[in-house]
C-alpha cells in the first residue's frame, strides 16, 4: 500500500509491574516523537500486569489518537481483560484476539470507502 504508515508491534511478556509499564509508556512517548503513530501491544505472553500502569497507558493511547494514530491491544487473557476493566479502561482500547487481527485493523481503517 503506497504511503501506508508502518504498524509497530511490541510483544510483551512476563509479569509487568508498575515500573515496567512506566518504562513502556516512556518508550511509547519517545517512539511517538520519532514519528511512530500506529502501535499494537501484544500481551499474549503477559501473565500479570499492575493495574496502576493502565491509566498512563490510556494517556499514551490518547496522545497517539490526537496525532492521527492509535494503540491497539492483542492477546489479552480473561484475567488481563479483567485488570483493564477494573482500572477503568474497558472502552479505552480496541482489543483483538491476535496481533495480526490488530495489525489488520489499521489497514482496514485506512482503506478507502467505495
Q: What are the extents of the domains in the chain?
A: 7-110
How many angstroms separate the CA atoms of 22 and 35, rounded? 20
Q: Provide the residue-wise pLDDT of the chain in tens; the chain has 114 residues.
A: 333 478 999 999 999 999 999 999 999 999 999 999 999 999 999 999 999 999 999 999 999 999 999 999 999 999 999 999 999 998 899 999 999 999 999 988 665 555
How many angstroms separate the CA atoms of 56 and 36, rounded? 18
The three grid cell numbers given for residue 29, joined into one nine-digit string: 512517548
Q: Let me know if 42 is exposed, middle or buried by CB neighbors in 10 A (0-12, 13-18, 19+).
A: buried
How many angstroms separate the CA atoms of 88 and 58, rounded? 10
pTM: 0.89
The CATH architecture that domain 7-110 belongs to is: 2-Layer Sandwich (3.30)
Amino acid at each position: 500500500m503506497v504511503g501506508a504508515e508502518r504498524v509497530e508491534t511490541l510483544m510483551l511478556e512476563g509479569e509487568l509491574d508498575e515500573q515496567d509499564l512506566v518504562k513502556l509508556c516512556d518508550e511509547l512517548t519517545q517512539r511517538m516523537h520519532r514519528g511512530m503513530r500506529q502501535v499494537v501491544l501484544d500481551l499474549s505472553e503477559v501473565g500479570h500486569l499492575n493495574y496502576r500502569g493502565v491509566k498512563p497507558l490510556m494517556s499514551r493511547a490518547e496522545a497517539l489518537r490526537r496525532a492521527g494514530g492509535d494503540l491497539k491491544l492483542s492477546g489479552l487473557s480473561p484475567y488481563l481483560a479483567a485488570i483493564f476493566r477494573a482500572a477503568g479502561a474497558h472502552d479505552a482500547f480496541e482489543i483483538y484476539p491476535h496481533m495480526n487481527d490488530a495489525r489488520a485493523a489499521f489497514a482496514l481503517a485506512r482503506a478507502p470507502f467505495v
